[in-house]
Each structure stands twice: as structure tokens, then as C-alpha cells.
Structure 1
Amino acid sequence: MLRYTLMRLGIFVGCFGVVWGLVYSGLAPRGLGASNGMWVILLALLLSAPISLVVLRKERDRASVQIVERVDRAKANLERNRAQEDVADDAARGAQSQPS
């Protein structure tokens, strides 16, 4: 998961560099007034999203498999805990109902 995040961040940084170069060289339009920095960030996000969607498909699939495995383990742990609580509760109720 961290690998996917870092790869996606790398694509954004690369796009940011390209957009920044294009804007400051005059090949892409500048933002209005003091909004130029935000304009460059938005253009970089707009470009990096579809690139990472295509380029990082396999890595995203690997990350989603890892997430599904973690969720399945957590569900199994919860179910195991519930079963242990049920056994303990049944044992406690059984001990209470037996005369001493």
C-alpha cells in the first residue's frame, strides 16, 4: 500500500514539474493574480490522475488484494473473539444455574 502511495506521489511530482515548466515558460496559461501556484497544482492533479489510473493498474490491484486480506483477517479475529465470549458466557451461565 505504501508503495502504491509513493508511486502515485511520484507521478504527481513529475506532472507538477512538467506543468510548472510549461506555465513559467509561457507554453501553458498562467493563473489569475496570486492564484498561479494553485493553478499549477490543479493542472498537475488533473494530469496525474488519469496517468496513475493507467500506469499503476497492477500496483493498485496488488494493494486492493492486501486490503481484502487484512479485512478478512480482522473479520476472522472478530468472529473468533465472539466465539470465545459465547463459550465464556455459556460457562458462566452454567456455573450460576448449578446448585452449590
Structure 2
Amino acid sequence: MLRYTLMRLGIFAGCFVVVWGAVYSGVFPRGFGDSNFLWILLLALVLSAPISWVVLRKERDRASVQIVERVDRVKANLEANRSQEDVVDDASRAQGRPS
């Protein structure tokens, strides 16, 4: 997951540099007044999103598999803990003690 995040940030940083150069060279229009940095940031975000979607497809699939495995492991651990509690509760009820 960290690898995917770093790759996505790298694509965004690359787009930011390209957009910054394009704005200051006049290819893209400048922002109004002091909003130029925000304009460059938003353009880079808009450009990097579809690039990341296409380029990082395999890495995103790997990350989602890791997340699913982690969630399944946590669910199995929770179920094991519940069953242990049920065994102790059933044993104490069989002996006539309140839980």
C-alpha cells in the first residue's frame, strides 16, 4: 500500500512540475491574482488522477489484494476470540456459576 501511495505521489509531483513549467511558459493560462499556485495545484491534480488510474492499475490491484487479506485475517482472529469466549461462558454456565 505504501508503494502505491508513493508511486501516486510521484506521478502527482511529475504532473505538478510539468504544469508549473507550462503555466510559466504560457502554454496554460495563469491563475487570477495570487491564486496561481492553487491553479497549478488543481491542474496537476486533475491531470495526475487519470494518469494514475491507468498507469497504476496493477499496483492498485496488488494493494487491494493485500487489504482484503488483512481484513480476512482480522475477521478470523475476531471469530476465534468470540469462540474462545463462548467456550468459557458455556463452561461456567455448565458449572452453575453466573458469568
Q: TM-score range by the shorter chain?
A: over 0.9
Partners of 2:24 and 2:59 in 1: CA distance: 33
Residue 48 of structure 1 deviates from its aligned partner by 0.2
Identify unmatched segments of 5+ residues in structure 1.
Answer: none
TM value normalised by structure 1:
0.95
Q: Which amino acid aligns with 2:11?
A: I
Partners of 1:32 and 1:9 in 2: CA distance: 26
SS of aligned partner of 1:96 = coil
Partners of 1:77 and 1:57 in 2: CA distance: 30
- Partner of residue 48, structure 2: 48
Identify unmatched segments of 5+ residues in structure 2.
Answer: none
Deviates more, 1:2-11 or 1:20-29: 20-29
Partners of 1:18 and 1:4 in 2: CA distance: 21
Partners of 1:88 and 1:40 in 2: CA distance: 62
- Looking at secondary structure, tell me which structure has more helix per residue: 1
- Partner of residue 24, structure 1: 24
Q: How many residues align?
A: 97
Q: Runs in 1 of length 4+ with deviation above 4 angstroms?
A: none
1:71-93: CA deviation from partner (whole Å, max 9, x where unpaired): 00011001000000000100111
- Partner of residue 82, structure 2: 82
TM value normalised by structure 2:
0.95
